[in-house]
Structure 1
Amino acid sequence: MVRKPAAKPAKKPELPNGPLDRHLRSYTGYNVKRASNIMQSNAARALEPLGLRITTFSALCVIVDNPDVTQSQLAAALNMERSNTVLIIDALEEANLIGRFRVPTDRRSYALRATLAGIKRRDAASRALAEAEEDRLANLSQQERAQLIELLGRIDPLD
């Protein structure tokens, strides 16, 4: 398969003194949000042909990697409200990518397990997402990418 080079975005408007948002670019949070918007749009484009959204892909990854994870554990892993994960789980189950099974020791809980189709879809989506990220991160070395992930992981969450 021949990959086309990523299209270059239109040049952003600038003033004689630099980018219009030059003051904002001194804030870490602003830069993280800008990068997040770029990466999320990129991921959404990569996952859409596979019938997945970022949230459904994320949930599917956790379920594939952790057979019999409960809905509550999934919600905690994705840092989401449990009620919001129900919609995601319903979508994955409707697409026959996962199954939901009662936990014998807790009748209120469901264990989630990926189907073979779910595992294959996750793997295909992972490849598509890796390719899409490669395009966006082409200006960073492998070491810089690893460092970026490590640094972002060190940001202290609000408790």
Structure 2
Amino acid sequence: MTHPTRAALEPIAWVSHASLEVLTGYLMKRAFNVIHADLVITLETFGLRTITFSALVMVVDNPGITQTQLAQGLCIERSNLVVVVDELETNDLIARNPMPSDRRAYALTATPAGQLLRDRVLAAVHGHEARALAMLTAEERAVLNRLLRRIEGA
């Protein structure tokens, strides 16, 4: 799968965006595209995709989380999560353990390799964010994060 480069995401000078550039959603999507393009490159060096990275971090941070809880935390359908969990398990990054209280559910835990990879990748992603958001001050980033959380919670 090819991903657009940052240059490919730059607006073309002769194309007018005037009617769209007043729309917050449009601007958020354009900003996301720029940040996501670099994130994909960062994660590819570790053999991860954005969804597998997010799932791994959540499993490490929430030992014993069920697949249903993980799907809810990632805001994806449980059926779509199966492929992600299978991929992480196949790569020996997480383990599925039957839950004694519910034989139909599995508790997900990170393996030592999964914990180590999470730490390495998270450090790289922090570096990616520092590069991608270098034009913002720490205060501006904090305000942006606060506003995005407010939008998400609305």
Fold conserved (TM > 0.5)?
yes
The counterpart of 1:58, out of the listed 54, 77, 95, is 54
- Pairing 1:13–2:12 present: yes
- Unaligned 5+ residue runs, structure 2? none
The alignment-based identity, stated in percent, is 44
Amino acid at match of 1:113: T
Deviation at 1:127, TM superposition (A): 1.0
Shift in Å, 1:157: 5.8
CA 1:73–1:39 in 2, change beyond 3 Å: closer, same or farther? same
Residue number in structure 1 paired with 2:114: 118
Structure 1 residues 111-120 or 127-136, which shifts more? 127-136
Please give the alpha-carbon distance, in whole angstroms, between the structure 1 residues aligned to 2:42 and 2:151.
27
> Matched residues in 1 for 2:94 and 2:57: separation?
11
How many residue pairs get matched?
149
Q: Give the structure with the higher percent helix.
A: 2
Q: Secondary structure at the match of 1:112?
A: strand
Separation in structure 2 between the aligned mates of residue 22 and residue 155 of structure 1, nearest angstrom: 24
Is 1:34 paired with 2:30? Answer: yes
1:46-75 per-position Cα deviation (integer Å, ceiling 9, x unaligned): 010101100000000100000000000000
Question: Aligned to 2:21, what secondary structure does the other structure show?
Answer: helix
Measure the CA separation in 2 of the matches of 1:81 and 1:153.
21
- Structure 2 contact 96–107 (Cα < 8 Å) conserved: yes
TM-score, L = length of structure 1: 0.88
Q: Deviations over 1:126-154 (max 9, x none)?
A: 11111111111010001111111110111
Aligned to 1:98: 94
Contact 2:71/2:78 (CA < 8 Å) preserved in 1? yes
**TM-score of the aligned structures, taking structure 2 as reference length:** 0.90
Tell me the residue number matched to 1:23.
19
Instruction: Tell me the secondary structure at the aligned position of residue 24 of structure 1.
Output: coil
Moved more, 57-66 or 126-135: 126-135
Structure whose alpha-carbon radius of gyration is higher: 1
- The 5 A counterparts of 1:144-159 are 144-156=140-152
Q: Which residue matches 1:107?
A: 103
The aligned runs of 1:57-96 (5 Å cut-off) are: 57-96=53-92
1:4 matched residue in structure 2: none
Partners of 2:145 and 2:118 in 1: CA distance = 21
- The secondary structure found in structure 2 opposite 1:22 is coil
